Amino acid sequence: MFGLTIEKLIVIGFLAAVILGPQRLPLYAEKLATFVTNFRRFTESTRARAEQELGFSADAMDPTIWNQQLQRYDPRRIVRDALATDSAAASPDASTDDEDTSVTEESGEAAPVSTQEVRHRWVTVGGTSGHPIRRRIVDPPAPHEPHEPYESSTPTV
């Protein structure tokens, strides 16, 4: 506690007895006892008020349960769970949200667009250079229109 050993406390007590003298030493010892009593009363009332406002006893709270509750807010765990959720959603046995459907004009039927045509990119939307905030942008598939031949200004014969 604060680097105080029993030897140092004995030296401090001896110096206090010599400096204060036998007449003032009991008065200051009584003041020290009053201070310690008031400090204990303050800590007990603060602890009781905290237990009342939090709704549970501090003695009854198991440190392992407290640590497990705090680990829910660990950024590494949050990212790991989010990545696991994203990879589960991207698996083939997941829902078919990955396949986009488009309607063809000739038949009027929905034709699935392959996921290879859908591209995504990451865009930095804020944050700092050390901790950027990135968002995934899904680009729509490029339309497959046939290229028309280049028309020149000279007429062909």
Domain tally, the chain = 1
**Residue range 40-82, pLDDT digits in tens:** 999 999 989 988 887 777 766 677 777 777 778 888 888 888 8
Q: Is residue 35 part of a domain?
A: yes
Is 20 inside any structural domain?
yes
Compute φ and ψ for 19, nearest 5 degrees: -70, -45
pLDDT category at 157 given cuts 50, 70, 90 is low
Beta strand segments in the chain, E: 100-103, 110-113, 119-127, 132-139
Task: Give residue-wise pLDDT tens across range 89-127.
Answer: 665 554 444 444 444 444 444 445 454 566 778 888 888
Amino acid identity at 103: V
Whether residue 129 lies inside any domain: the answer is no
Q: Compute the distance between CA of residue 57 and CA of residue 48 in angstroms, rounded to an integer.
A: 8
pLDDT value at residue 149: 56
Query: Domain of 21?
Result: 1-75
In a domain, 133, yes or no: no
**pLDDT tops 50 at residue 156:** yes
Position 156: which residue type?
Answer: T
| Average pLDDT for the chain | 75
State whether residue 66 is helix, strand or coil: helix
Q: Look at residue 31 in the predicted model and tell me its pLDDT.
A: 94
6 inside domain = yes
